């Protein structure tokens, strides 16, 4: 099937966005939505820690070219599955980099559709391996919990699905454009899709607490897994995108 999006080319190569921070725009995926496969662009984030090791957030593919390009940046030390949707490629990356530690958001192991390697479960406090450089907060939910991260040195916030910001001009199919707008995840007003907001209805206090922590970090930029990320005005974008819970 032809691609549904104009891609964020070049794909599958590390692109620097700040000192010691890269993104890799990956291939489209299709998620089940209302009975059919809804396409999404994908993106992973790489942070080089002070010891030179790489912290890999939401790996997007098992392509050997991507493995090699990332390995050229440093040794892969940590593989992050930040929520129950973004875990699929972690076992492949662990097979390629068996010395890396796998870190899973709560619920990933229980809901995974494939075997996962030995791992640690992420929580509200950063583990000692990156606590001096990256803050984190757990956003608990009913259907999905997500762990979000803040790289202090670059003032970069790393989110996954709690903000989706799909650019309509990049969507080739009119139906998909309509669904994205209907779902509330269209740029320039990207946010958690309405169905996801609904899934957090019993956890609004916890979500608000987590968002207030993110706002307190005063991020300059926000990296997203799906759609246009925010290169500036990060704190203002948080206030806008999370007005449904603040």
User: How many angstroms separate the first and last alpha carbons of the chain?
Assistant: 40
Nearest Cα to 195, choosing from 203, 184, 186?
184
pLDDT of residue 231: 98
Cβ atoms of 43 and 223 within 8 Å: the answer is: yes
Compute the distance between CA of residue 123 and CA of residue 131 in angstroms, rounded to an integer: 12
Q: Which two tokens stand for residue 140?
A: 């608990």
Residues 6+ away with beta carbon under 8 Å from 47: 20, 21, 54, 55, 57, 133, 134, 151, 156, 158
Q: Which residue has the tokens 């207030």?
A: 212
Compute the distance between CA of residue 191 and CA of residue 208 in angstroms, rounded to an integer: 14
Q: Which residue has the tokens 């040195």?
A: 153
The helix/strand/coil state of 24 is strand
The tens place of each residue's pLDDT in the chain, 246 residues long, gives 568 889 999 999 999 999 999 999 999 887 765 455 678 899 999 999 999 999 999 999 999 999 999 999 999 999 999 999 999 999 999 999 999 999 999 999 999 999 999 999 999 999 999 999 999 999 999 889 999 999 999 999 999 999 999 999 999 988 889 989 999 999 999 999 999 999 999 999 999 999 999 999 999 999 999 999 999 999 999 999 999 999
Which residue ranges form the domains of the chain, and what is each CATH number? 15-105+126-241 (3.60.15.10)
Compute the distance between CA of residue 49 and CA of residue 22 in angstroms, rounded to an integer: 12
pLDDT of residue 34: 47
Q: Which residue has the tokens 């692109």?
A: 15
């Amino acid at each position: 099937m032809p691609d549904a999006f104009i891609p964020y080319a070049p794909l599958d190569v590390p692109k620097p966005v700040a000192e010691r921070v890269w993104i890799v725009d990956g291939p489209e995926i299709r998620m089940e939505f209302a009975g059919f496969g809804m396409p999404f662009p994908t993106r992973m984030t790489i942070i080089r820690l002070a010891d030179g090791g790489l912290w890999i957030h939401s790996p997007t593919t098992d392509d050997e070219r991507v493995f090699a390009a990332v390995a050229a940046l440093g040794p892969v030390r940590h593989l992050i599955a930040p929520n129950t949707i973004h875990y699929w490629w972690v076992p492949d990356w662990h097979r390629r980099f068996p010395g890396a530690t796998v870190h899973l958001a709560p619920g990933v192991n229980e809901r995974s559709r494939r075997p996962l390697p030995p791992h640690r479960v992420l929580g509200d406090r950063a583990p000692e391996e990156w606590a001096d450089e990256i803050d984190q907060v757990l956003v608990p939910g009913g259907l999905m919990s997500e762990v979000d991260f803040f790289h202090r040195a670059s003032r970069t916030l790393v989110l996954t699905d709690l903000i989706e910001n799909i650019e309509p001009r990049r969507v080739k199919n009119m139906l998909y454009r309509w669904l994205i707008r209907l779902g509330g995840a269209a740029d320039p007003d990207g946010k958690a899709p309405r169905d996801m907001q609904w899934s957090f209805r019993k956890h609004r206090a916890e979500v608000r607490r987590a968002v207030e922590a993110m706002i307190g970090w005063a991020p300059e930029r926000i990296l997203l897994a799906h759609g246009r990320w925010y290169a500036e005005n990060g704190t203002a974008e948080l206030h806008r995108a999370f007005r449904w819970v603040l």
